């Protein structure tokens, strides 16, 4: 009889503790209520990270891109990426904003680089030398100062109009080169000028995002030590003649180690 009472007491105690833990912890892998939409260009779609989804076609949306990594880890109520390789601010407005609605509660976007000609600049720098490279970057900087703020403002206004209650995270670009190292390829002058141009685009983007009431996720410091010409693991593809499209884009490690932690820290 005594043993029976002890067994009953033990079972009751275990049941009570289990119930308490269940209340405290909640259901395993509970999905947050966010309805998340990812917008933007190749840095959002994940060009260079491999594992592209069949449905994305030439947009090359990767399951290794930071939006997909976030969705896999957080499990929002819904997730859709319409980010596309080659996207500009105009194409985002014309073809991507339709994915947003009044129920959208989280939006991410990386855009602006194609508006100032990132790809053409890098082609010029690789093929034509320092003088032409510096001139191409300078022309892009002039264009960025003159046009990019208004172009971004149009995108951000469109996002807010379609998703009025959403948290919006604007994600920047990594600086390509670590300076002051021994590095073959482009001259030190060209590398420094390219970095200067990227920093300008990021700074303009940050100002525009903040003016719109959005959060700017700055990935530049996260990539330090993993840039081209660095001594650590490279998180960016160098020029790849066999696959030019991935050149100067983040690798899968760049998306997971560079982009994802920064985005996750501000997106929640």
The catalytic position among 35, 42, 85, 247 is 42
35 is catalytic: no
- Cα–Cα distance, 235 to 224 (Å, whole number): 10
Please state, as a whole number, how many other Cβ atoms lie within 10 Å of the Cβ of residue 255. 27
Mention the CATH class of domain 34-267: alpha beta
Domain boundaries, the chain: 1-30, 34-267
Average pLDDT rounded to a whole number, residues 28-57: 89
Q: Closest Cα partner for 36 from 90, 111, 103?
A: 103
35, 226, 237, 249: the catalytic one is: 249
81 in active site: no
28 has a pLDDT exceeding 70: no
What band does 32 get if pLDDT is binned at 50, 70 and 90? confident
Which of 12 and 213 is assigned the larger pLDDT? 213
Q: pTM score > 0.85 for this model? A: yes
Q: CA quadruple 102, 103, 106, 112: dihedral positive or negative?
A: negative
pLDDT tens by residue, 119-171: 899 999 999 999 999 999 999 999 999 999 999 999 999 999 999 999 999 99
């Amino acid at each position: 009889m005594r043993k029976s009472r002890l067994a009953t007491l033990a079972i009751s105690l275990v049941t009570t503790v289990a119930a308490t833990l269940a209340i405290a912890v909640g259901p395993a892998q509970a999905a947050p209520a966010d309805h998340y939409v990812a917008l933007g260009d190749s840095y959002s779609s994940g060009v260079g990270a491999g594992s592209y989804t069949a449905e994305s076609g030439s947009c090359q949306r990767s399951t290794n891109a930071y939006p997909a990594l976030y969705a896999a880890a957080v499990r929002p109520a819904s997730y859709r990426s319409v980010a596309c390789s080659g996207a500009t601010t105009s194409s985002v407005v014309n073809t991507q904003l339709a994915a947003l609605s009044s129920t959208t509660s989280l939006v991410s976007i990386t855009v602006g680089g194609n508006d100032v000609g990132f790809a053409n600049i890098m082609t010029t720098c690789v093929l034509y030398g320092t003088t032409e490279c510096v001139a191409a970057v300078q022309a892009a900087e002039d264009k960025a100062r003159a046009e990019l703020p208004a172009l971004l403002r149009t995108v951000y206004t469109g996002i807010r109009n379609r998703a009025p209650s959403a948290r919006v995270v604007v994600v920047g670009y990594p600086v390509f080169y670590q300076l002051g190292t021994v590095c073959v390829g482009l001259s030190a002058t060209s590398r420094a000028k390219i970095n200067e141009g990227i920093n300008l685009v990021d700074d303009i983007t940050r100002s525009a995002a903040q003016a719109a009431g959005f959060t700017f996720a700055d990935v530049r410091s996260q990539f330090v030590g993993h840039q081209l010409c660095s001594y650590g693991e490279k998180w960016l593809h160098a020029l790849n003649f066999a696959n030019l499209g991935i050149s100067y884009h983040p690798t899968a490690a760049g998306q997971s180690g560079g982009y994802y932690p920064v985005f996750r820290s501000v997106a929640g």
